[in-house]
Every structure is written in structure tokens, then in C-alpha cells.
Amino acid sequence: MNKAAQRNHFFNERPPVRRDCSVSVVVPTKDEAGNIFGTVERLPSLGTHTEILFVDGHSTDGTIEQIHKVMAAYPEKDIKLMTQSGKGKANAVFEAFDAAQGDLFMILDSDLTVAPEELTQFYNLYAEGRADFLNGCRLIYPMEKGAMRFLNWIANHLFAAVFSFMVGFRIKDTLCGTKAISRESYRRLKAKHEDLGQMDPFGDFDLILGAAGMGLRVLDVPVHYRARRCGNVKIRRFADGFRLVKMLTSIFYREDSRYERTSGSGYL
């Protein structure tokens, strides 16, 4: 079956059914004071209600103060703040998912390298019944200069190739922070696997592999990737990269129903 036929087969598996819902946008922060107001001001209204949930990783640069200020400046918006109990993005995201009130969970990185405005297409694709798990893909459109280091670009392509082999369908970008999954699907995933975030420092691998293992329809959504405007990069390229390789190696050599090959993926 050629790629066009595969794509049409995916989208014809189930007739799209409009499913408007409430949305929780989870925004992990760690010393991102300069991006807080931009996040709130640029984030579009999504679905029947939009909850903006900042989850802070013990910032020391005034991030928490900026969140309180933006909450006061926009009282009409449903903005909440929580502090993660542990360390790392995965811990922050999954603790925020546990507290979020929306029907659809989205992740927006607070460095704004993916624009908040891009979340509209994630919501529309989900609401139209086109997919159950939406995975941002930064490797389609041209990137701004300096948005991604060359070694990171290579690593992203290598991880994508390994993932595609493991899950049985093509994933083009495993480490884009922008993702969407329903509350129901996340709760099923967590009930099945209580170790979420323990091996994966970012949570991306856990979510993609979990979605594939549950047979969710996975869709790569192209996004524009921009250079960071303020703040510092938090990723430790070699230390975090080693943890991801270690995680994939351990998965590859053990039996785990979460990582069975499945079908039902597509691309925009």
C-alpha cells in the first residue's frame, strides 16, 4: 500500500465525529519569567473552556511572581499555578495532568519555541475526530536559525527512526514538547503503568509509546519551530540523551504490552 493509500486508509477507519470539549493547557516552567505574559496573551481560547495550568519546577528568577501578576491582570481567564513535587519535565507534566480539569490535555513549552497559536490546529484535529493522540512535529517546516542545534537535529531523526520501528508506524519527531491527549486516555495509560516519568526525563517517549500500545490513533502535526527569545535552554544534551538511549534499550530487550506494534497512525 503506498503512502497516499495508507493515509486515506487511516482517516477512513472511523468517520470523523465532532467532539467539542474543554481543554487544559499544561505549561511547565523553570526560570521562564520573561515568557509568562506572552504565553497567556497569545494563547487562543480553545474548545468550550480553556484552563491554563502552570506547573513550576522551583524557579528562582521571578517566574512564580510573574504568574501571580498575569493571574491578576487577566482575572477572566482560568489560570492556575502549582509546583511540582519532584524534578524534571516529565514529573511536572504528569503531576499537572493529574490535577487538570479539562477533557483534553495539551502541553505547551514555556520557552515559546512553538507558538501558542499553533494549539488551535491540535484542538480542531481532535474535535473533528481525526486522531486520539496528537504529536507535534518540528521537522517539516523550515526552522528559524538557531532553533535546534545540529546534534539535536541528528538525535531527533535517529530517535524517530527507532520509534517507528518499535511501534510499527512512522513517527517523525519524538521529542517535540507540544502534544495532546484526552483525559480519559491519559487515565487509562496511568492505570496501566504507574512508572510514568521514572525513566523518561521529558515524558515524550512515555506518552507516544503508551498511546501506541493502547491502540490510539496517533497523528503527527507539523509545527513551526522558532529560536528561544529569552531564558536559557534547560536540556542537558548528553546526560538526557544517554537516559533516553538507556530507556529505549531496556524497552527493546524486555516484554511490555505497552509497546506492542500497532496500526492507526497518520500525518497531516
> Which superfamily, per CATH, for 21-256?
Spore Coat Polysaccharide Biosynthesis Protein SpsA; Chain A (3.90.550.10)
pLDDT for residue 154? 77
Choose the weakest-confidence range: 93-97, 147-151, 201-205.
147-151
Average pLDDT of the residues of the chain: 83
Environment class of residue 106 by beta-carbon count within 10 Å: exposed (0-12), middle (13-18) or buried (19+)?
A: buried
Q: How many CA atoms lie within 13 A of 243 on its CB side?
A: 17
Residue 99 and residue 97: Cα distance in Å, rounded? 5
pLDDT score for 14:
56
pLDDT at 69 over 60: yes
In this prediction, residues 146-153 reach a mean pLDDT of: 72
Question: What's the sign of the alpha-carbon dihedral 156, 202, 146, 125?
Answer: positive
- At 210-256, the pLDDT tens digits run 898 899 999 999 999 998 777 666 566 556 556 666 666 665 555 44
What pLDDT does residue 98 have? Answer: 96
C-alpha cell at 127: 474535535
pLDDT-based confidence at 122, cuts 50/70/90? very high
Q: Please state, as a whole number, how many other Cβ atoms lie within 10 Å of the Cβ of residue 16.
A: 13
Cα 96 to Cα 3, 237, 257, distances in angstroms? 37, 25, 26
Domain boundaries, the chain: 21-256
Query: Is residue 2 packed enough to be buried (19+ CB in 10 Å), middle (13-18) or exposed (0-12)?
Result: exposed
Q: Is 20 or 3 the better-scoring residue by pLDDT? A: 20
Integer-rounded Cα Rg, in Å, for the chain is 18
The residue among 26 and 258 whose pLDDT is bigger is: 26
pLDDT at residue 95 in the model? 96
